[in-house]
Structure 1
Amino acid sequence: MPLESCMLVLDNSEYMRNGDYTPTRFQAQAQAVSTVFTAKTDSNPESAVGLMTMAGKSPSLLVTPTNDLGKLLSALGKSAIGGISDFSTSLSIAQLALKHRENKNQRQRIVAFVGSPIEDTQDSLVKLGKKLRKNNVLVDIVVFGDEGMENEGKLGALVDAAGGGESHLVSVPPGPHLLSDIILTSPILYDPERPTAEGGAEGMEDGIDPNMDPELAMAIRMSLQEAAETAARQQHPVGESVTAGPAHPITEHVSSGSAGGAGLPSSLTAPLDNPFIPHPEPSAPGDSGVLPPDHHPSIPHSEEEDEEEMLRRAMALSRGEGGDDFLMAEAEGDDDEEDEEAAIARAIAMSLEEAKHEDNKEEKEPRTEP
C-alpha cells in the first residue's frame, strides 16, 4: 500500500444497535477500525489513520490522522450511539481534516461505513464525488445491513465520480462472518499488484493475517512445513538413500552374509598398524597354529627375556666385553620399545659395574699393617 492519510467515518446512528452482525453493528465497526489501522501502518509506518462519526447531534471529528492505535481506540470508546447519520456533511468534514494533514506527501483517502438510510439524493452525491476527486481524495465505502444496502445505487455513483479506478464500494451482507474479515480480503485493503502464490494478500497465511492472529498463522506455517517434509521423505525413502550413495564397510559386511569374515572389506580385516600391539607371525605350512603355553598374548615370543638372559647381559657389561657397543646397540634398537624388563637389566648392569670398580679400587690401594 502507498503512503496514505486515511479518515475512517463510522455510522453511529440508532440502526447500529442491531445484532445482525457479530456482536452488534457498532462493535463490528470498532473491530474494523483496528483492522484498517493495522493494515495501513504495517504496509507503511508513516501512514496515518483518523476517526470521526456521522450521527448524533452533528458529525464529530474524534481523532485527526495519527499512527497511535491507542489514541484511536480511546477516542472510539468515548463515542455513543444515537441520532440520524449525515453522510454528505461527514465526508466534507473528513476531506477538510485530510487537507490539514501534517505530511503532505501522504495520499488522501476516506473509508466510510454506511449501515443506515441516506437522505441525500444521487445528484448531490455525484457532485460531492467530483469535488473529492478535484481535491485528490479517494473514497472507499462499506455498506452493510438491509438499510445500508438500499443506498448501494447512490453510493456507487459517488464512487464512480470520485474515481472508480482507485475508489471502491464493498457490500457486506449479514451472516456469521466478521465485518473486519471481509474488509481485510476486499479491494479496500487487498493489493492486487502484490499477490502471493496462493492468491491471498501479501504477508497472509492462507487468508489469515499474522498481525490479527499470530498463533493461528504460526500453526498453519508449521503444518505446511511438516507436510513438505513428509512429501520429501516419501520421494526419497531411507533405503534408496543408503544404496544410492557409497556403500559403508559395515553395510557391505551385513549385506554379504558370508561366514568367517570372508565378505569383510580389507579396512576391517587388515591388522592395525600399532607398534604397541604385536601381531603373530604367519604359521608355517602344517603348523597347528597353537601357541606355546608360556607365550604371553601381548608380548612377542622373540622379545621375552627370562632371568638368565638378564644375567648374561649384566655379566657381559661387568667383564667389559663390548659394554659400550652393547649399550649403544640397545639404545638404538629399543628407543621405541623399551619396557620395564630392559630398564631393570640396565639397573642391574650399572650396579654390577659400580661394584666391580669398587673391588678394583680396593685391590689397588696398598694395605697398611696395623
Structure 2
Amino acid sequence: MVMEASMIVVDNSEWMRNGDYTPTRLVAQNEAVNLIFNAKTQSNPENTVGLMTMAGKSPEVLVTLTSDVGKILSALHSIKSNGKSDFLTSVQIAQLALKHRQNRNQRQRVIVFVGSPVETDERTLVRLAKKLKKNNVAIDIINFGEEAENTPKLEAFINNVNNSDNSHLVSIPPGPHILSDMLMSTPIISGEDGAPGGFATGGEGFEFGIDPNLDPELALALRISLEEEKARQEAASKKESSNGEPSKAAGSSDAMAVDSSSSQQQQSQQEDISPEDAELQAALALSMNQSQVEDEDVDMDEMDEDEELQRALEMSMNDNNGEANQEMMSAVLGSLPGVDANDARIQKALEDMKEKKKDDKDDK
C-alpha cells in the first residue's frame, strides 16, 4: 500500500444537526471518520492521519498527524455543531498541516466531509484545485446531505485537482443506510490498489473473512501472522536455492571471517578455496598466537628484573652496620641484565640512602 499522510476535514456546521442520516449527520460523519482512520493506518503502519473542523469561529486543527486512534476518537467526541462551514479556508489549512509531516516520503492527501452548502464560487474552487495539483496534494470529498446543490461545484474542483485518478468525489444521498457502510466500497476506503478497507480481499469481501472495522485488533494480528509466515517461507526458499548452487565461495569466506581457527577444516570442505588463501589464513592465526606468547615472555622478564632489583635495595637498607657496602651493591647491580651500576641516577640513589642512614645513626 501507498505510504500517506492524510488530513481529515469534518463539517461541524449547524447543518450537521439534521437527522436525514442515521442518527444525525454529525454522528454518521464521526463513524465514517473512524472507518477511514482504521483503513489508512492498517493498510500501512507508517501512515498518519490528522483531524480538523471546517466550521465554528474558524477552521481549526484538532489533531496533528498521528497513528493513535485514541487522539482521533477523543477529538471527535468534543466536536459540536456550530456556525457555517468554510470549505476554501479549511482545505488550505489542511494543505499547510501536511507540509509539516515528519516523513517526507509520505504522499499528501486531504479528505473532506461536506454536509452543508459550499458557498465558495466555482472559479475560486478551480483555482485552489490547480494549486493543490501543483503541490502534489490529492483530495477526496464525501458529499452528503446537500449533495444535489454541491455536486456541480465539487465535480469541477475534482476534475482540476485530479492527477492520474488520485482524487475522488463520492456523493451519498440520504436514506436508511449507514454513511460508513456506503463508503466501504468506494475508492476513498479501498485506496489506489482497489482493496476494500485497505485490506486484501478474501472471504465475504474482507481479509480472513472478518470485518476489520468490527475487530481491528484481530484483523491486525492475523495480518502480521500472515506476513511473518510469508517471510519465513521466503527465507527458507532462498536458503534451499543457495544450498543447491555449485559455487560456495561466498559462504565459506564468511565462515572463515567468523572463526579463523577453523580455516583449514573449511579449506578441505570447500574445494574452490585456493591453497594460497588457506596458507595466508593459517599464517595470520599463527602470527597472532606468537605475538601473544612473546608479550607474555617480556612480562615475565620484567617481573624477574623488578624482583632482583627489589632484593638488592632491601639488602642495602637492612645492612647490619647501617652503611651500604658500595662494592657489594655495585657488584649486585652490575649482575642485573640491562642495569648500569655507574648510572648517575643509581649512584645518587645510593648516596642518598647512605646519607639517610648516617643521619638516623646521628639522631640515635
Fold shared per TM-score above 0.5: yes
The offset of 1:189, in angstroms, is 1.4
Answer with 65-74 or 179-188: which moved more.
179-188
Distance 1:129 1:21, change over 3 A: same
Percent of aligned pairs with the same amino acid: 54
Runs of 4+ that moved beyond 6 A: none
The offset of 1:45, in angstroms, is 0.7
The offset of 1:170, in angstroms, is 0.2
Distance 1:194 1:114, change over 3 A: closer
- How far apart are the structure 2 equivalents of 1:204 and 1:98? 33
Question: How do 1:61-100 residues align onto structure 2 when only pairs under 5 Å count?
Answer: 61-100=61-100
Partner residue of 1:302?
none
Q: Partner letter of residue 211 of structure 2?
A: P
Partner residue of 1:103?
103
**Paired residues of 1:201 and 1:207 also in contact (CA < 8 A):** no
1:151 aligns with 2:147: no
1:112 aligns with 2:112: yes
- How far apart are the structure 1 equivalents of 2:195 and 2:54? 34
Partner residue of 2:212?
211
Distance 1:194 1:158, change over 3 A: closer
2:16 is paired with a residue of what secondary structure?
helix
Answer with 117-126 or 175-184: which moved more.
175-184
1:63 is paired with a residue of what secondary structure?
strand
The offset of 1:201, in angstroms, is 6.3
- How far apart are the structure 2 equivalents of 1:57 and 1:195? 38
Partner residue of 2:169?
169
RMSD, matched Cα? 2.2
Question: 1:198-223: CA deviations, max 9, x gaps?
Answer: xx9624532456211349x99xxxxx
Question: How do 1:1-370 residues align onto structure 2 when only pairs under 5 Å count?
Answer: 1-145=1-145, 147-163=146-162, 165-191=165-191, 193=193, 202-203=200-201, 205-207=203-205, 210-214=211-215
Q: Partner letter of residue 44 of structure 1?
A: N
- How far apart are the structure 2 equivalents of 1:95 and 1:191? 20
**Paired residues of 1:8 and 1:111 also in contact (CA < 8 A):** yes
The offset of 1:118, in angstroms, is 1.0
TM, length-normalised to structure 2: 0.55
2:189 is paired with a residue of what secondary structure?
coil
2:161 is paired with a residue of what secondary structure?
helix
The offset of 1:175, in angstroms, is 1.3
Distance 1:195 1:69, change over 3 A: closer
Question: 1:66-121: CA deviations, max 9, x gaps?
Answer: 00000111111122111000000000000000011111110000000001111101
Q: Partner letter of residue 202 of structure 1?
A: A
The offset of 1:125, in angstroms, is 0.3
Distance 1:117 1:206, change over 3 A: same
Distance 1:191 1:108, change over 3 A: closer
**Paired residues of 1:115 and 1:149 also in contact (CA < 8 A):** no
- How far apart are the structure 1 equivalents of 2:127 and 2:2? 27
2:61 is paired with a residue of what secondary structure?
strand
2:21 is paired with a residue of what secondary structure?
coil
User: Which structure shows the higher helix fraction?
Assistant: 2
Q: How many residues were matched structurally?
A: 213
Distance 1:65 1:195, change over 3 A: closer
**Paired residues of 2:147 and 2:173 also in contact (CA < 8 A):** no
Distance 1:142 1:113, change over 3 A: same
- How far apart are the structure 2 equivalents of 1:126 and 1:176? 34
- How far apart are the structure 2 equivalents of 1:195 and 1:17? 33
- How far apart are the structure 2 equivalents of 1:160 and 1:38? 27
Distance 1:138 1:116, change over 3 A: same
The offset of 1:195, in angstroms, is 5.3
**Paired residues of 1:55 and 1:85 also in contact (CA < 8 A):** yes
Q: Partner letter of residue 107 of structure 1?
A: R
Distance 1:123 1:70, change over 3 A: same
- How far apart are the structure 2 equivalents of 1:95 and 1:60? 13
The offset of 1:192, in angstroms, is 6.3
Q: Which sections of structure 1, spanning at least 5 residues, go unmatched?
A: 219-370
Partner residue of 1:285?
none
Question: 1:309-342: CA deviations, max 9, x gaps?
Answer: xxxxxxxxxxxxxxxxxxxxxxxxxxxxxxxxxx
- How far apart are the structure 2 equivalents of 1:69 and 1:203? 24
